[in-house]
Structure 1
Amino acid sequence: MDINDNIESPLELKVSFNKLLNLYETLATSDDEFVAAKANRILKTAKAFPELREGFSDMSILEERKKEISVILQDSFSPVLTKNEIKTASVPFHDLIFNSSERFKNIIKTAGNDFELNIKNMPKDDKYIIACTIILNFCYGYNLNFKRPFYYEIPDANGILHFYKILYNADFTEIIPTDNAPKITKEDYDQLLDNFENIDLWKEKFPPNSYIFKGFVISNIFDVTDDQSISNIKSSLIGEDKRKDENFMEGFYEIFRSLLGINDIKVGFSIYNKEEDTFERVYGVGMNSFLINNSESAKCGDSLCKWSYNRLLKNNKYFTVSDVDSMLDKAKGRAPHITNLHKQGIKSAIFAPIANDKGLMGILEIVSNKPQVLNSINANKLIDVMPFIVSAVEQSKNDEENLIEAIIQKECTSIHPSVHWRFEKEAKNFIKSELNGERATFSKIAFENIYPLYGQIDIKGSSEARNNATRLDLTLQLNAVKSIFEKVSKIEYLPIYEQFIYQINDYLEGLNTHFQVDSEQQISEFFKDEVEPVLKHIYTIDNVKGDIDAYFDSIDEKVDVLYNHRKDYDNTIALINKEMAALLDKKQVEAQQMYPHYFERFKTDGVEHNMYIGESITKEDSFNPIYLYNLRLWQLQVMCEMENTYYQMQSGFPVALDVASMILVFNQPLSISFRMDEKQFDVDGTYNARYEIVKKRVDKAFIKGTNTRVTDKGKITIVYSQKQDEREYLRYIKFLQSKNYLDTDVEIVELQDLQAVTGLKAIRVSVLYHKNEEDKAFYTYNDLMKEIKA
């Protein structure tokens, strides 16, 4: 079998001892008789077999000349040191080892019959190019420093992984160009420098087998398990999303097993909450805490004895428990951590504080199911790794704080993606000023010459509906109390009961004739301050116990009143807002893809939305009025779809409420700025404030000369002030009529004057509905109600 079989390389490998034998030729003339005699003996041994100098690739010769090779390599593999040194002789880029020290052989033997030796971090894909860089160095003098540390990973008899670093001695190698090796010029070299990954280029300059490698390399190998374990701990701690990785903790166990040389250990963590003086578990796949036995949290004083508490929390020093069972007998129940470890079957443990100059952040817990394997002596090995664990925990705490802040920003004060770039720009300027020692201020965020769009789907008669629900609940509660007083007055006549009945009747009459805003509060105070103390007093009367129990059972614990009809109303409002907002958000994704723009929505008694579109928001020289017109049409169409979706859902809501949709058209571009105190955008300037005034009041406006609200159930209302807006929206309406979104009953009305705003007009047009998504028929609002009720 040939060494070069199944290997593509610019080097044709040949085992040769020529350079080593040349060295012995020099030593043969030494004045030291012993050195000269030994050199001559080695040269004589080699002379009989010319292939040992000329080189060979037939692997069978290695076995045939095993004795002679051993003689030639005797000085390199000293018998005196063979049981101490870890050393091999081999050829590069090959797993072939033809000579080794006794210690190396023992390490491989201990690893087991199924162990395959290979270099862990030798990149297979780059072997060809690495060989080319070696040729550039040997043959052309270009010193390309591509040296990387290479390692073997070999388990010991206990299965603990050891790391061995390989250092190569290439003193006895030669590289010779063949006739088909292109000569490398300076231009070739310059080209190769910028094309490490271009394998075709390297093969062009260094064709396969175009150079001959003659010689062998000596590998000096060192056990660097401790150093590599520490390095691996650093690498593991740096990894992103490590707590989500199922293999992370098992890999972490493996690293500590190598560091401590103990197979049977597990690693846990607990976080210290200084404010509450508690230990808390770390959340993540495979993350455990043996100190608190995977409870959510535990008081530090309840988890440790006084001595261990002071040792960890006050002095920030580690402590060990080498024999849990023995300590359990001595502690006699006074050491909670010992009791806890015993319950988990743990026999020895190390607890190390993860602390910085600000104090304790958490505890590193290393445990074993065997006694005495963890102790105060091997715990000293943690000294080298604790700084990296401390650094990782600090980073993790910072990351968690940033994540919490990011979630708050996202969920509570979200910055819309369309304007995020501007906030990011100002934040970078802020950081730059701080780093330069300047006074950092967050500049005003404003956008000029942008067009606003506003729309709302509002619940009609929401105040009346809530008042009615309140009236019904209060009536039920008053009647329940009234019946109790009527019943008790027959058993025990007292004038005060009669007075209560009179008061209740007065409230009932008031609810039916002139329900006031403060009626709810007055009656609630009457129940709380006057009725309930009396009910608790008369609870001793057997005949009314059941009635009083029933009364208190009907009272909602959260709001402390009877909350049936109002709960239905509140749930309905919440459901309407949730469903309409979700639909609008979903539709908005499509609109953003057409052209980016600012969007925000608010849940009130219904759902309102603002949109702003323009050049200054998109940051690109791409805005055209066509995008504004497109967004206006999209808005009108989506409002029709929201109306349809609402009435298809209406039967599933606790209370049947109507909605009315409105769009406000503002013809002129305006400026908006971000109000830091309110965490939202608002219009800038006195003139632009007119837009906000109209927005807040227009849905309550009346049609001029009437007492009819401009917004109405079953209709879309489009409010505007300019004739060109009227023409534009009539075109959109005609288009949507052709698609059966809107009916043909278009009307144009004038609005009564609002404060400081005159000349507003509105287009009103009925929406066409479907009974459900599969329904192909079209209904007006009145037809739909008849169909639903039929």
Structure 2
Amino acid sequence: MQAKILDIVPIPFPPPAPETLISFAPFVNYLKKRKEQSDCHKSKFFSYVIEEFEKNPELLGEVKPADVEQYANQMQLIYLSLSPMVEDEENHFWGLSLPMRPVLMYTTNALYRFAQDMMADKVASDQIPGTLEELAKEKLEYSYSFILERLYGMTNFLNRYFIHSVVDRKTGLTKYYKQKLDTRFIDIATTRPLPELNLATLKSKINDSRDVLPLLQELLPLDMFRFTGFGIASIEEVTPQYALENIKGLLLDHSSLKEDDYYTRFTDSLKSLIGSTDVEFGALPFLEVNGRPVFIDGACFNSVLINSAKEHASGEKSYASLAEEYAKKPKVTFIRDIAEEDEGRHEMIRALKVAGVRSFAMLPVFFNNALVGAVEVYSKKPGILNEALLSQLEPAMPLLSQLLKNTIDQFNDSVEKVIKEKFTAVQPSVQWKFNEVAWHYLQNEHQPQSRKETEDIVFEDVYPLYGAVDIRNSTVERNQALRKDLRVQFTVLMTVLEKLRKVTGFGLLDEKIFVSQQWLNKIEKDNSVFNQEIKLNEFLENDMVPFLLQFIDNQPELTAIADEYFSAINEKHGAAYENRRALESSMTTVISSVNNYFEMLKDEIQQAYPCYFEKFRTDGVEYDIYIGQSITPNKPYSNIYLKNLRLMQLTSMAAIARYSHSLLPFLSRKVETTQLIFIHSHPIDIRFRKDEKRFDVEGAYNIRYHIIKKRIDKVNIKDTRERLTQPNKIALVYFNQKEADEYISYIRYLQGEKLLNNDLEYLELEELQGVSGLKALRVGVNLSAEEKAPAVS
């Protein structure tokens, strides 16, 4: 035992501080009461202890801390009175402390060593002021908890214990200990009358100590209290409980942490739970798509099996096979020593050996009796992993099941999000309306006269913005590529037929050569051949291919000749598709780049003001944007958002023209884009078409807007055969000058920014079916300018 003063947390009470006096009178008085209630054996012992204290009457008055060491024998009697007789002092964390202060004055050897280690760690860690404030707050909470319980009968009101963290020097792990204080032998005296407290007010603030502590300090200043006696301090290790609480907190706070940090803290808590840093953990959530196991990077947390497989480029395959096999027979797998296992027995053994693992366990994890994955427990040191250590993970299994279930749910939500954003019309900006209608439908579903149809989803008075980026002359380019490929195809075909005739002398081959030559002549001279595409395909697919296959049947020498043709018409590699492949590859590169740009633009414009953005993939990319108060009822709408959006629209078209032009050196076939904007200044209504699962315009006037935007992509300038849309230019179609004036101001601004050329044209357009009076602006894009996007309001 140690009779020495040891201040565990040297933090003074904030002023005004209470008076604290050491006295053993409360303990002696307690024994005198127990003496009358106990059997003869205990009564004799209590009498002996009382007598020993009364031999030193100064102990029943005020005792100075420095004098306690002189009374070690009496302190030992207190320990014997309050602790089990068989308790080992070397392992029992027990001590006497000053009343309401974490200052030890007599301790077991175990508690003394612990307190010294804890203080050394606190000094070494150079505690930050925020931590000192927390300690002072804990001290206040503890004192007021005692006061409220003893004088007002309010129990469990505030914090009644301290948690201390100590780094275990052997393992390097942080361990957590709960310090309790037995206050039975502390008396409270007041220097002035106690005020009446409104307990309802205090209870209403029980969950917010930032409010209740200042209130208590005002109503019950600590300098009106005198604490007399001593406390009994005890320490209990709560590392497992604390580790589990940390894991619970991580599950709740996952979104605020980076993935690496999240996983590190998670595994550190598991290591604290089992008390070893030589053990690592991996998690394998069983992700599925359409009932098949799938793999995605980032979902398998530090899995040694998957990481080893990924090094050999088989991560997905390994995951799928492992998940499928394990799901059939989920069971605990424990390999005590990998080095002694035969690699040929299972691929898993080989992967573990490659990773340097010496012992390994895989535990199935269930959520509501359904398998959600598995947890790997492994060590690269021999003799570390055993059944006893694995059993310590049992309390964490429900939390691990929640982790894997959360991962599966996040994956499924991500799939749903992609489907919603990429393949349906339900975008976040209008999701609220669909939610509302769905809720109304569910409300009415169980009514006596339930509605069988959902409400119409209509957004009124929204402003439309239409734009289109198209591949210039895409039909002409395709026809030219097809003509070149057909020329190659017929040339090869005729060569093959000639060789077959030379070898066999078969007369029908002459007729096939003659017909093929006629088709080749049409391809070389007559553009109308493309109007006979059905007949052409019928000749090639339904005539020549069956003929050749039948002609060479079971004749290897003829098969080798005919294979020249069949190799040429292979869509993926054949020479007869080379031009079309090159064109499609170039067009796909350009359109995909434009599409990706619009995806980024969609996210950017939502930051300024939520609106509905819908893209259509054609030979280019068309889009409709709708903005207005009815789409975003909770955010006040102003025309400044529309003006900002129109400026972004024009700027984005200039950026796309520059970017698509910059791709030309990297394309196998030169393809250029044209940029078109339709200016419409009046609001329209849009309705969700349930049958088509998309939004469309509503009403006769609004439909006219829809018709116009579909007809202007190939419009010519009036009295000419010149197409309005041209590469490296932006065309803006409008009806009235008032509609164009706003965009002209934006054009002037972008010309000043050197993003557009100073070549603005004012044009009249030819009449279209049912549409007359169209006008246009056309301006060139400065292809050498650096992209400079407008600020988002």
Q: TM-score, normalised by structure 2?
A: 0.75
| CA displacement, residues 537-568 of structure 1 (integer Å, 9 cap, x when unaligned) | 998599x98x977x887766537563333233
Contact in 2 for aligned 1:459/1:605 (Cα 8 Å):
yes
Contact in 2 for aligned 1:291/1:303 (Cα 8 Å):
no
Would you say 1:405 and 2:424 are equivalent positions?
no
How far apart, CA to CA, are the structure 2 residues paired with 1:559 and 1:19? 98
1:726 alignment counterpart:
737
Would you say 1:97 and 2:97 are equivalent positions?
no
Secondary structure, aligned partner of 1:171: coil
**Distance change in 2, residues 1:735/1:217 (3 Å):** closer
1:296 alignment counterpart:
315
Kindly provide the amino acid, as one letter, of the partner of residue 508 in structure 1: L
How far apart, CA to CA, are the structure 2 residues paired with 1:393 and 1:731? 54
**Distance change in 2, residues 1:136/1:395 (3 Å):** same
Would you say 1:752 and 2:764 are equivalent positions?
no
1:173 alignment counterpart:
186
Residue 422 of structure 1 is aligned with which of 421, 430, 433? 433
Deviation at 1:516, TM superposition (A): 0.6
**Alignment of structure 1 residues 552-631 onto 2, 5 Å:** 558=572, 562-583=576-597, 595-620=609-634, 622-623=636-637, 628=642, 631=645
| CA displacement, residues 366-417 of structure 1 (integer Å, 9 cap, x when unaligned) | 4565569634x87666665545544544444333322321232233336444
Would you say 1:88 and 2:88 are equivalent positions?
no
How far apart, CA to CA, are the structure 1 residues paired with 2:601 and 2:317? 47
Contact in 2 for aligned 1:279/1:292 (Cα 8 Å):
no
Kindly provide the amino acid, as one letter, of the partner of residue 80 in structure 1: V
1:688 alignment counterpart:
702
**Distance change in 2, residues 1:12/1:571 (3 Å):** farther
Contact in 2 for aligned 1:733/1:742 (Cα 8 Å):
no
Kindly provide the amino acid, as one letter, of the partner of residue 23 in structure 1: Y
Contact in 2 for aligned 1:163/1:228 (Cα 8 Å):
yes
**Distance change in 2, residues 1:440/1:648 (3 Å):** same
**Alignment of structure 1 residues 176-187 onto 2, 5 Å:** 176-177=189-190, 184=195, 186=197
2:488 alignment counterpart:
476
Kindly provide the amino acid, as one letter, of the partner of residue 507 in structure 1: W
Secondary structure, aligned partner of 1:75: helix
Contact in 1 for aligned 2:759/2:780 (Cα 8 Å):
no
How far apart, CA to CA, are the structure 1 residues paired with 2:99 and 2:577? 84
2:790 alignment counterpart:
none
Contact in 2 for aligned 1:719/1:761 (Cα 8 Å):
no
**Distance change in 2, residues 1:738/1:243 (3 Å):** closer
Secondary structure, aligned partner of 2:254: coil
1:124 alignment counterpart:
135
How far apart, CA to CA, are the structure 2 residues paired with 1:685 and 1:748? 30
**Distance change in 2, residues 1:558/1:7 (3 Å):** farther
How far apart, CA to CA, are the structure 2 residues paired with 1:193 and 1:726? 66
Contact in 2 for aligned 1:459/1:660 (Cα 8 Å):
yes
Contact in 2 for aligned 1:446/1:673 (Cα 8 Å):
yes
Contact in 1 for aligned 2:294/2:316 (Cα 8 Å):
yes
Deviation at 1:297, TM superposition (A): 6.1
1:505 alignment counterpart:
517
| CA displacement, residues 41-61 of structure 1 (integer Å, 9 cap, x when unaligned) | 544544566664444564x43
Residue 461 of structure 2 is aligned with which of 436, 449, 453? 449
Deviates more, 1:563-572 or 1:522-531: 522-531
**Distance change in 2, residues 1:609/1:299 (3 Å):** closer
Deviation at 1:673, TM superposition (A): 1.7
Deviation at 1:171, TM superposition (A): 0.7
| Percent identity over paired residues | 23
Deviation at 1:147, TM superposition (A): 4.4
Secondary structure, aligned partner of 1:773: coil
How far apart, CA to CA, are the structure 1 residues paired with 2:447 and 2:69? 70
Secondary structure, aligned partner of 1:616: coil
Secondary structure, aligned partner of 2:421: helix
How far apart, CA to CA, are the structure 1 residues paired with 2:641 and 2:93? 74
| CA displacement, residues 590-644 of structure 1 (integer Å, 9 cap, x when unaligned) | 6556654333333322332212232212315844556556655664565456556
How far apart, CA to CA, are the structure 2 residues paired with 1:664 and 1:279? 45
1:354 alignment counterpart:
365
**Alignment of structure 1 residues 625-774 onto 2, 5 Å:** 628=642, 631-632=645-646, 635=649, 639=653, 642-643=656-657, 646-647=660-661, 650=664, 653-657=667-671, 659-666=673-680, 668-701=682-715, 711=725, 717-721=731-735, 725-730=736-741, 732-733=743-744, 736=747, 740=751, 741=756, 746-747=761-762, 749=764, 751-754=766-769, 757-758=770-771, 760-773=772-785
Deviation at 1:75, TM superposition (A): 0.6
How many aligned positions are there?
Answer: 753
**Alignment of structure 1 residues 544-555 onto 2, 5 Å:** none
2:12 alignment counterpart:
7
Structure 2 unaligned runs (5+)?
A: 126-130, 788-793
Contact in 2 for aligned 1:164/1:222 (Cα 8 Å):
yes
Structure 1 unaligned runs (5+)?
A: 776-790
Contact in 2 for aligned 1:165/1:221 (Cα 8 Å):
yes
How far apart, CA to CA, are the structure 2 residues paired with 1:594 and 1:356? 42
Deviation at 1:509, TM superposition (A): 1.5
**Distance change in 2, residues 1:100/1:291 (3 Å):** farther
Secondary structure, aligned partner of 2:82: coil
1:134 alignment counterpart:
146
2:74 alignment counterpart:
68
Would you say 1:462 and 2:443 are equivalent positions?
no
1:782 alignment counterpart:
none
How far apart, CA to CA, are the structure 2 residues paired with 1:32 and 1:766? 109
Contact in 2 for aligned 1:737/1:744 (Cα 8 Å):
no
Contact in 1 for aligned 2:285/2:299 (Cα 8 Å):
no
How far apart, CA to CA, are the structure 2 residues paired with 1:281 and 1:466? 38
How far apart, CA to CA, are the structure 2 residues paired with 1:688 and 1:279? 46
2:210 alignment counterpart:
197
**Distance change in 2, residues 1:78/1:98 (3 Å):** farther
How far apart, CA to CA, are the structure 2 residues paired with 1:164 and 1:738? 67
Contact in 1 for aligned 2:306/2:318 (Cα 8 Å):
no
How far apart, CA to CA, are the structure 2 residues paired with 1:260 and 1:629? 62
**Alignment of structure 1 residues 307-322 onto 2, 5 Å:** 313=328, 318=332
Contact in 2 for aligned 1:746/1:763 (Cα 8 Å):
no
Contact in 2 for aligned 1:46/1:72 (Cα 8 Å):
no
**Distance change in 2, residues 1:71/1:324 (3 Å):** same
Deviation at 1:696, TM superposition (A): 2.0
Kindly provide the amino acid, as one letter, of the partner of residue 459 in structure 1: I
Secondary structure, aligned partner of 1:444: coil
**Distance change in 2, residues 1:38/1:149 (3 Å):** closer
| CA displacement, residues 306-359 of structure 1 (integer Å, 9 cap, x when unaligned) | xxx89x845x65465667778x59xx9667777877777766665543346765
| CA displacement, residues 21-76 of structure 1 (integer Å, 9 cap, x when unaligned) | 22245567789776666555544544566664444564x43434333322344311
Cα-Cα RMSD: 5.4
Contact in 2 for aligned 1:705/1:752 (Cα 8 Å):
no
Would you say 1:217 and 2:231 are equivalent positions?
yes
Secondary structure, aligned partner of 1:197: helix
Contact in 1 for aligned 2:11/2:135 (Cα 8 Å):
no
How far apart, CA to CA, are the structure 2 residues paired with 1:583 and 1:712? 20
How far apart, CA to CA, are the structure 1 residues paired with 2:348 and 2:662? 61
Kindly provide the amino acid, as one letter, of the partner of residue 70 in structure 1: Q
